[in-house]
Structure 1
Amino acid sequence: MSETVKVACIQMNVSVCLKHDNIQRALQMAEKAVSREAELLVFPEVFSTGFCYERIEELAEDVPGPTIDALCDFSKEHGCILAGSIIERREKDTTNKKDQTPSQYNLGFCIESGKLAGSHRKVQLYGPEKEYFASGGSIGPIKLKKHDLSVGLIVCNELRYPEIARKLAVEGADIFVSSAEIPDFYAHPWRIMSISRAIENQLPHVACNRVGRGKRTIYPGGSLIADGWGRILEEAGSEETVLIGEIDLDKAKEIKQKGSILQNLRTDLY
């Protein structure tokens, strides 16, 4: 019998700046996911706050902090893995008065069985994010105990840079997980890129986007789960939902071997 992992995209609406409400909503939807035996749950980008720029310093958290603690408690209770991103408070160098770097990071996280297994500070910021977030300085997969998986965590705009996914794959990622807040005008490219990153690296991809209406745009959802050939296993519409899919890990390894993309890289040329 093949080894499988059941995954879930928590495709939720996000109420900007209302952290408590968002966390409660996220955990309610996560309850539905684990009741259907999901083991790996993915939330949208900055799901607990949205891009609340007007109160960003107030809502930013140390890690560990309230949001991560709540997720760790849930993960411990249900023995599951949780991934997504939040606004992290950055410790500034108070001795350097010339330091104009923003006081926050967009922090991707991966929690396993009640503990923070790893994190990733978003390195490719988009538009106004550059005014409010510092850029991360490292890229690498996060190692999990369950199924001996290594997760390549991608935060929203980073999906537009195939070099990030490739670096994660070369360094041993078994599966891509992307956490996004993509607006309607970019929904089509995001879908194509989500599938492309899977095909380019012969790896499964769990891509989670938010839904709902923001101040200036609509978020269309469209979360998807694809295998390493880019075949869609499950795909959501534009409504709030818990998208469940199953990834066959033995087939994932087989696809990676048959594709042989990573083995045939010409690192002498590129």
Structure 2
Amino acid sequence: MKTVCVGVCQTPVLGEIKEINPWLDRIAAEDTKSLWVFPELFLGGFDYDHKEKWADQCLEIKDIMEKFARDTGHILAGSLWCRKADKYYNTFYLFSPDGGTMELYSKLHLFLPGRENEYFTAGNKSPELFQWHDIKMGFAICHDLRYPELFLIQHAFEPDIFVLNAQWPLARIEHWLTLIKARAIENQCYILACNGMGNSALGKLAGHSCLITSWGKTEFILNEEPGMQKAILDEEVIKNDRQMFDSRQSPFFDLKFRHLDI
């Protein structure tokens, strides 16, 4: 397996498209071509009053990120406002040098206390697989973290890592840290989690973006400040962690998952 680096860009909610430029400049200066994840709705956040504006500007920033990936060889990912017909979605996009813009997943578990269900339409399918240098990736967005079924259903393609982004509030930081480790351990996968930081429409965000191994070991974790961090995925962890035992399926329970027609 080639050396695979993954990292996070822990940003505040961006209020203008140009605010992404310093982050892209820092990524471009990195020698190792890596996967970089931005937070949930990193442009505009949950600013419901200006949803039309953010949907339009997200079209522009998608073009910028696609061109950056193509020109630099880095991969970018994050969720953005997506408008289709008269509906809005919280959609996870991935921008790769070879594949262009990929729409991988629209958030299923909308956060009702934040009124997300009043402005967004839930997706209607589980995330699609993305494979890079033999590493298989699954995906989730913020409130999805509380629902282990979304992770379990992605076992059909044997993911090595789940990529999660969020706008998780500081008020529930202990839930964030605990649930990320739980999802990593129970799925025997890496979890790369990128959270926003600073003030937002939902309150102060927690930061604490991190990379957790399938053993629950913290490879890196940021604090509440803006920042970037990356790490190399360990081939031994990916290939050998499940050899001692595989706890992702029980010999006593045959779970049947079905997709709801939303």
Do they fold alike, i.e. is TM over 0.5? yes
Do structure 1's residue 227 and structure 2's residue 213 form an aligned pair? yes
Q: Deviations over 1:113-142 (max 9, x none)?
A: 151244100000002110110000000342
Identity value in percent: 29
Q: Which residue of structure 2 lines up, in the alignment, with residue 77 of structure 1?
A: 71
2:251 and 2:95 map into 1 onto residues whose CA distance is 32
Check the 8 A contact 2:130/2:138 in 1, yes or no: no
CA drift of 1:252 comes to 1.1
Q: 2:173 maps to what in 1?
A: 187
Decide whether aligned partners of structure 1 residues 264 and 59 sit closer, same or farther in structure 2, where only a CA change above 3 A counts. Answer: same
Residue of structure 1 aligned with 2:110, choices 120, 125, 129: 125
Q: Aligned partner of 2:217: which letter?
A: R
- Preserved CA contact (<8 Å) 1:123 1:136: yes
Q: Which residue of 2 aligns with 1:11?
A: 10
Seen in structure 2, the aligned counterparts of structure 1 residues 147 and 187 have a Cα distance that, compared at 3 Å, is same
Counterparts of 1:267 and 1:217 in 2: how far apart (Å)?
A: 41
Secondary structure of the structure 2 residue equivalent to 1:44: coil
2: CA distance between counterparts of 1:234 and 1:156?
19
* Partner SS state of residue 4, structure 1: coil
- CA, structure 1 residues 78+4, in 2 after alignment: closer, same or farther (shift >3 Å)? same
SS at match of 1:258: coil
TM-score by length of 2: 0.88
Aligned Cα RMSD in Å? 2.2
Aligned partner of 1:100 in structure 2 is: none
Letter in 2 for 1:5: V
- Whether 1:139 and 2:126 are equivalent positions in the alignment is yes
Q: Mapping of 1:79-118 within 5 angstroms?
A: 79-92=73-86, 103-113=87-97, 115-118=100-103
Residues 46, 201 of structure 2: 8 Å contact kept: no
Q: TM-score, normalised by structure 1?
A: 0.86
Q: For 1:4, give the aligned amino acid.
A: T
Stretch of structure 1 that moved more, 2-11 or 19-28: 19-28
CA distance in 2, matches of 1:150, 1:174: 5
What is the CA-CA distance between 1:91 and the residue it aligns to?
1.7
Shift, 1:61, TM fit: 4.3
Q: CA deviation at 1:266?
A: 4.0
Q: Conserved in 2, the CA contact under 8 Å of 1:3 and 1:249?
A: no
Q: Tell me how far apart the structure 1 counterparts of residues 63 and 244 of structure 2 sit (CA, whole Å).
A: 41
Gaps of 5+ in 2: 257-262
Tell me how far apart the structure 1 counterparts of residues 75 and 192 of structure 2 sit (CA, whole Å). Answer: 13
Distance 1:142 1:269, change over 3 A: closer
- Output the CA distance in 1 between the equivalents of 2:249 and 2:42: 37
| d(CA) in 1 for partners of 2:54, 2:249 | 44
| CA apart distance, 1:170 | 3.5
Q: Name the structure 2 match of 1:98.
A: none
Looking at structure 1, the residues matched to 234 and 35 of structure 2 have their Cα atoms a distance apart, in angstroms, of 13
Matched ranges for 1:165-244 at <5 A: 165-215=151-201, 217-244=203-230
Q: How far, CA to CA, are the matches of 2:189 and 2:79 in structure 1?
A: 21
Aligned pair in 2 of structure 1 residues 112, 121: CA closer, same or farther (>3 Å)?
same
Aligned amino acid, residue 136 of structure 1: G
Measure, in 1, the Cα distance between the counterparts of 2:24 and 2:77. 13
* Unpaired runs of at least 5, structure 1: 93-102
Q: Which amino acid aligns with 1:41?
A: W
Distance 1:167 1:123 in 2: 13
**Aligned to 1:24, which of 18, 21, 24?**
21
Q: 1:215 to 1:68 in 2, by over 3 A?
A: closer
